[in-house]
Structure 1
């Protein structure tokens, strides 16, 4: 979706969202470590941190990225 929005040049919006997507593997690794250690408290802490970071990220996608992508794909 980013290429449709960028039109050949990365934007502040797409750079911010790409960084958020790039951070996810670290969280997944930490969640996996907590699962393997049977550490429910640590798992909950990591999951909570993930939710706190993803909520504004998801809001930005919904409010800015998706409407822009829809407009660009429609030729506007």
Structure 2
């Protein structure tokens, strides 16, 4: 039997690696490279949020009847991260190394905590609740994440 969320932890690592590269470019003051790297990271993390919020979370909520629990918290944290992404984009556009570093540090902490909660709590709950269509869900998630590569 497959795992519904199999692709998502690997995509977390992918996004984290893109984030680190963008931050390294900003630290060097290579703002053209930082802008390009940040745009790629931004596209990928938004594809991740969209796949979870548009497909995984509704499927989990439909299967469990639970809409005010862990998915609500994850959506809230996605909103916090989107706000930090806007701050990073503005700092990058302004070539503001200090502003970028501050927002990046906060985002990194939030991302790490968020990913740990998803991987250790929510994803196992989803895998159990969605076991009957695990492979189909994982394929749909993969297709949604692939759109972020375009």
- Once the two structures are TM-superposed, the CA of residue 3 in structure 1 deviates from its matched residue by 1.7
Alignment of 1:29-48 (within 5 A): 29-48=86-105
TM normalised by structure 1 equals 0.85
Distance (whole Å) between structure 1 residues aligned to residue 114 and residue 81 of structure 2: 12
Q: Structure 2 length as normaliser, TM-score?
A: 0.46
> Is 2:118 aligned against 1:65?
no
Unaligned regions of 5+ residues in structure 1, if any?
Answer: none
Q: How many residues matched?
A: 75
- Structure 2 counterpart of 1:11, from 37, 55, 68: 68
* Aligned mates of 1:70, 1:26 — CA distance in 2: 29
CA contact 1:34–1:40 (8 Å) conserved in 2? yes
Runs ≥4 in structure 1, deviation > 2 angstroms? none
Instruction: Give per-residue Cα distances to partners, 1:9-52, cap 9 Å, x unaligned.
Output: 41321111010112222111111111111111210110000011
Question: Who is 1:2 aligned against?
Answer: 57
